[in-house]
Structure 1
């Protein structure tokens, strides 16, 4: 499965770029596990990792935005809350045994597409604040 991550998503902040790549890799793995009809154990393992990593990444990124007085810090935090709500909805659908195709569509739209737009429109605004 090709990775969703590509160089157009680089923010120019190496640690944040690394974390973003890891998040994309795990979301791609989740989709692959669903498309290959893997068991609940493998899905739960990937979901658990994503849960932990999303929370750690968002806390780190929000702390950077606050530290460097980034003007979109508040917007970033609200956007993260939306992502977490989307992710919780995906996990609920998996628990309720919704169709794999429906869940995959949700991941692609509500997580991957959301994340791409978030990086390009919000996260990239942090780098100029760090350079000040």
Structure 2
């Protein structure tokens, strides 16, 4: 059972490396949700989460440095949003460790990580594009 990807071209901000990173992150969140739906072992969920955590930290750090370098007016707002995302990702990790309901965890991943991330790209990250193009 292969689910469709959440990524689509409307999420492209026109900065190739950031678009690639965004696609990778969305694909990993899709993969995590899929693993929960098909009831993969906890170890596989932890493996996906571990990669997601590493990748998201690298991405957020790179994106933030771009915003600061190009004097993007939403750099501070972006940093705060990233901190909130990382906190939720950590809570999801803990809930999986504590063997809490995967159905509840998947709802949280979908709503507070994946849907939030899509919205964040469209509302915050897109505002970096004109700063870079100057």
State the TM bucket, normalised to the shorter chain. over 0.9
* Equivalent residue runs for 1:1-132 within 5 Å: 1-132=3-134
Structure 1 residue 40: Cα displacement: 1.6
3-state SS of 1:49 partner: helix
Unaligned ranges ≥5, structure 1: none
Structure 2: 5+ residue runs without aligned partners? none
Over residues 21-51 of structure 1, what are the superposed CA-to-partner deviations in whole Å (9 max), with x where a residue is unaligned?
Answer: 0001100110111111111221111011001
Aligned equivalents of 2:125, 2:44: Cα separation in 1? 30
Listed one character per residue, the Cα deviations across residues 79-122 of structure 1 (whole Å, up to 9, x for unaligned) are: 00000011111111111111111111000001011101100000
Structure 1 runs of 4+ off > 6 angstroms?
Answer: none
CA displacement 1:52-84 (0-9 Å, x = unmatched):
000000000000000000000000000000000
Alpha-carbon RMSD across the aligned residues, in angstroms, is 0.6
- Taking structure 1 as the reference length, what is the TM-score of the superposition? 0.98
Counterpart Cα distance in 2 of 1:115 and 1:105: 14
Say which SS state the counterpart of residue 61 (structure 1) adopts.
helix
